[in-house]
Copies of this chain bind each other. A is one copy, B any other.
Amino acid sequence: MTPDRALRTAEVIAVGSELLGSTRLDTNSLFLSEKLESLGIALRAKSVVGDSHDDLAAIFRQALNRVDVVVLTGGLGPTDDDVTRDVVASVLELPFTEDASIVAWIEQRFTRRGMHMPEVNRRQAMVPRGATVLDNPNGTAPGLFIEHDGKAVVLLPGPPRELQPMFDRLVAGPLGARAGRERIYRTQLLTTGRGESHIEEAIQPIYSTWRTETPPIETTILATPGQIEVHLSLRSDDAARANARLAAARDSLIAVLGDTVFSLDGRPMEQILGELLRTHGLTISAAESCTGGLLLSRLTDVPGSSAYVLSGVVAYSNQGKIDLLGVSPELIATHGAVSEPVAVAMADGIRTKTGASFGIGITGIAGPDGGTPEKPVGTVAVAVIGPDGGAKVRTLQLAGSRAMIKFWSTQAAMDIARKMIVRDEAVRRR
């Protein structure tokens, strides 16, 4: 035992043959990665192994040689397939004893449901000598925390709704206490409307200088559909100083990115726009063609959105645009259904019909068919009419799948409305 040694590195091993198929991903490791990192413990590797005693033993033994903390998830059930408990005890050469209080606890769970505990569940009460039992209010499998040669071995049940509260309540504390004083601090911002290379070009001269500072700020740029995320992180033993440096760093990025930055806390566009609408007492309605209802669906994904989302129309056909939105057939004949004048007429039609502050109109070609040389697949006209009746209209040329084109179009429409509100706020403040 070397109790003074700080825990700095970790490995996560997910156990279960079902996780090796093509339909299931181990998502627990994402949760654990974030939690461990926030404690200043870096994830060095992670693996998934089937319910094989020998394979798990080999992988666990190697991990134990390499890192300070090994977290094993799954394989704690009562059947022969559940090998994690046995493998860990055998590799660490720890004898088992049956824990009477765990047996009583599991029996009670079964009794509450009017059932007898099957004999096989006694396996879940076998505890390696010296291990701390982590009780599991959400399932029958208790977790285990074992200190071994100055290292920590943690066994957690596989279901996320059992694993996550167990980690937060019973594991984060003891690991954090031994993890040294350094922690990882993070901040982020989300942008939309500019491509990854544009964002990279704009901020690279800034973040590249952070690498040589002590401690360095790490910058990660992540392109996800409809937005570019910039993540900043910093390893430090001084929380106040770390957070101040991150805030200043983020501000210097905002200074060059301007209002392409729409979120500072990871909230998606529909929440950000919803919050702005609610705060200002504004309402919104939409007329959608190629996005087929996705804009309204995203807006109404936000709890409480009935306070500001009025109504909408999905006018997929020309006749629908005419009948439901009052777009004139001549306008469609002159400019085509995918055109800025028709987008504006759709926005105007739905805004007038519903009396909303904002009317949005989207018409375009989501593909894969329907494109022409003049209006290829990905051509989308987006119009937003604001509270003062002024219209903003843009024609986008988008690439990618049908789903991507739909998503990008709704993101762009919400972003135009967001900027109208934010710029109006700025004008009023002057």
CB within 8 Å of B: which residues of A? 18, 20-25, 27, 29-31, 33-34, 37, 43-50, 52, 55, 58-59, 62, 66, 220, 222, 229, 231, 286, 288, 290-297, 299-301, 303-306, 309-317, 319-320, 323-324, 353-354, 366-370, 402-403, 406
Contacts and interface: CB of A to CB of B under 8 A. Distances in A.
Given A22-B33, A25-B27, A30-B25, A294 B292 contact: no
A301 B403 contact: yes
Contacts of A44: 20, 49-50, 52, 55
A104 to B, nearest CB: 27
B55 A231 contact: no
Given A25-B25, A300-B314, A301-B402, 17 more contacts: A20-B44, A23-B229, A25-B27, A45-B48, A45-B55, A59-B62, A292-B293, A292-B299, A292-B305, A293-B294, A293-B300, A300-B366, A304-B369, A310-B320, A311-B315, A311-B320, A314-B314
A260 B34 CA distance: 40
B231 A23 contact: yes
A92 to B, nearest CB: 19
A311 B304 contact: no
Contacts of A229: 23
A316 to B, nearest CB: 5
Nearest to A30: B22
A62 to B, nearest CB: 6
Given A44-B50, A59-B45, A402-B303, A316 B323 contact: no
7 contacts: A20-B33, A59-B62, A301-B402, A304-B369, A311-B319, A320-B354, A323-B353
Contact of A314 (B46, B59, B222, B293): B293
Nearest to A27: B25
A58 B305 CA distance: 52
A59 B296 CA distance: 48
B293 A311 contact: no
Contact of A324 (B47, B55, B220, B324): B324
A292 B303 contact: no
Given A50-B45, A292-B300, A320-B310, A31 B20 contact: no
A31 B58 CA distance: 25
Contacts of A301: 292, 402-403, 406
Contacts of A62: 58-59, 62
A323 B25 CA distance: 46
A15 B306 CA distance: 46
